[in-house]
Structure 1
Amino acid sequence: GYLGCQDTYYVGNFKGIGKVYSQVFIDSYTRVADAKLYTDKTALTAADMLNDRVLPWYETQGIPILRILTDRGSEYKGNIEHHAFELFLSIEGIEHTTTKAYSPQTNGMCERFNKTMKQEFFDTAMRKKIYTDLDDLQLDLDIWLEHFNNERPHSGKYCYGKTPMQTFKDSKKLAVEKNNEILYLDYISDSQNLTDNQVQNL
């Protein structure tokens, strides 16, 4: 299914804002990335990132997220009944995979993106400007994300020097076809189960 990786990145302590964290989401195939800034790292902010930015965008593309990979941080892992992120994934029907214990490297895609985002955006932005407002910082980050996804060639496994968005567009037809195939197989399976149940009730 369509897999995304999610991670929390500590940006730093801003004089007028306080601690700033970024919830990062990356499409594991095309490397299309998104990031939203928060002043804390909780299960609620992790779920908000998906609800506010990730799922709506993928819905407009006709491609549902079927599986998400995270580390075992407390913002991602917990008792499903009392954990906003786990509960959100359960409601949305998204499978949750976590990295191996004591091995954050398994989520290396997010680690590499966080490093790039720090070097290419945050290090420069914090030298050029004094941020006292989270929305202001988010606006500038969104401009950089637009550049990262649409203009910056990527050497990732499936990108072959294309931009993440170009890779996404090139693979979209295949992803939609694959998703339709999954839905059709689910439908056939449900129909078969229904028939079996009806037979049992005779």
Structure 2
Amino acid sequence: MTRRRPPVTPDQIIAHRRAHVISQAAKVGVSAACRAAGVSRTAYYRWVKAAARYGSAALVPKRRRPPVMPTAMSAQEVSAILAVAVAHPTLGARQLLRHLAKHDVHRSASGVQKVLVRHQLGRRAQRLAALASLTAADTGQLTDAAMAGPFGFCQAASVAGQNVSMDTFYVGKLKGVGTIWQFTAVDVATRWAIVALIVGDKTAAGAARFLDHVRAEFGRLGVPVTGVLTDNGPEFVGRDFTSHLGDLGIAHHRIPPRSPNHNAVCERFQGTLLHEFYRPFFYRARIDRIADLQTGLAAAITDYNHHRPNNGAYMAGRTPRQLLNEKRPAQSAA
């Protein structure tokens, strides 16, 4: 039975290469050996000097020890600082020291402030928004501060229809039909999805018509739409759409520029629809009529809303239909 040799380590490879350069220098000269190996003569003479003094073991590279930071904060201290700061959002770093001492955290005010800034809690408004966001996540009590929070909690909603996320999705071009866009609406509280296909360019007038369609669909479910969340695309900031929202008395929440994560509920749904419906559908057969696309899309949306379990942290394996029964407004449930 043969015994397996232990694997060669990177340090052993480096030491062998250095020894090879030294042996080659004795045969062809220092300059030629260093040029062939791609190393400097300064490094060569350093290796030779170390090997002459300490032996061949000196050719093995030395590992640098990580720097010792005796004043570095532990993870427990950082967690305590963040928790206390959110629990007392109106207090500054100096005022927080008294409360931190109760948790055996004894740090300077400047050190506490650096931790808060590093975690986007350096300003009072950020700490208030974080507290409002956590309250919304735990109890469903949604405030304006939570909607504008720094952690994307503008996606929070306590009841169905309170915050409907809207976006557009480029489907593609159909021969003989033209460019096709999809208007998408996903209720943040229940993840109930409503979509509509349009031919041609997306406009504010088209977005206004889609809003009426969304209100009608949610009306059949007994859910009033009281707020929508959109990006800053021209179809959602145009006068036709914004004035229609004002006429209907619907609040318009707009995400910050270049921050698609604040509209992640709708963005994630569109990604799911792309992978689970559009790509298989277009690969399965040639589509020349928008009616065929609309039929397949309607079946996919019905399956998503009523039968497909969502295994995300928020949905926890439930379907939008199941969550709609839990998040329906009180007056509608009655």
Aligned to 1:64, the other structure's residue is in SS state coil
| Higher RCO by CA contacts (8 Å cutoff, separation 6 or greater) | 1
Q: Give the equivalent residue in structure 1 for 2:330.
A: 176
Report the alpha carbon displacement of residue 46 of structure 1 after superposing the two structures with TM.
Answer: 1.1
Report the alpha carbon displacement of residue 62 of structure 1 after superposing the two structures with TM.
Answer: 2.5
Alignment RMSD (CA, Å): 1.9
**1:61 aligned to 2:215?**
no
- Give percent identity, aligned residues only: 33
Q: Give the equivalent residue in structure 1 for 2:308.
A: 152
Tell me how far apart the structure 1 counterparts of residues 333 and 321 of structure 2 sit (CA, whole Å). 19
Q: Provide Cα deviations, 1:61-110, integer angstroms capped at 9, x if missing partner.
A: 332111100000000003xxxx2111211111101111101212211111
Q: Give the equivalent residue in structure 2 for 1:95.
A: 251
Tell me how far apart the structure 2 counterparts of residues 103 and 178 of structure 1 sit (CA, whole Å). 34
CA contact (8 A) 2:230 2:254 kept: yes
Runs of 4+ residues deviating >6 angstroms: none
Superposition TM-score, scaled by structure 2 size: 0.49
Q: Which amino acid aligns with 1:44?
A: A
Report the number of matched residues: 173
Q: Which amino acid aligns with 2:231?
A: D
Higher strand share: 1
Alignment of 1:72-151 (within 5 A): 72-78=232-238, 83-151=239-307
CA contact (8 A) 2:223 2:332 kept: no
Report the alpha carbon displacement of residue 132 of structure 1 after superposing the two structures with TM.
Answer: 2.0
In structure 1, the gaps of 5 or more residues are 181-202
CA contact (8 A) 1:152 1:163 kept: yes
Report the alpha carbon displacement of residue 131 of structure 1 after superposing the two structures with TM.
Answer: 2.0
CA contact (8 A) 2:177 2:290 kept: yes
In structure 2, the gaps of 5 or more residues are 1-158
Tell me how far apart the structure 2 counterparts of residues 58 and 154 of structure 1 sit (CA, whole Å). 20
Q: Report which of the two structures shows the higher radius of gyration computed on alpha carbons.
A: 2
Report the alpha carbon displacement of residue 34 of structure 1 after superposing the two structures with TM.
Answer: 1.1
Change (3 A) 1:5 1:102: same
Change (3 A) 1:145 1:162: same
* Residue 197 of structure 2, aligned match among 33, 37, 57: 37
Aligned to 1:16, the other structure's residue is in SS state coil
CA contact (8 A) 2:222 2:332 kept: no
**1:49 aligned to 2:203?**
no
CA contact (8 A) 1:63 1:179 kept: no
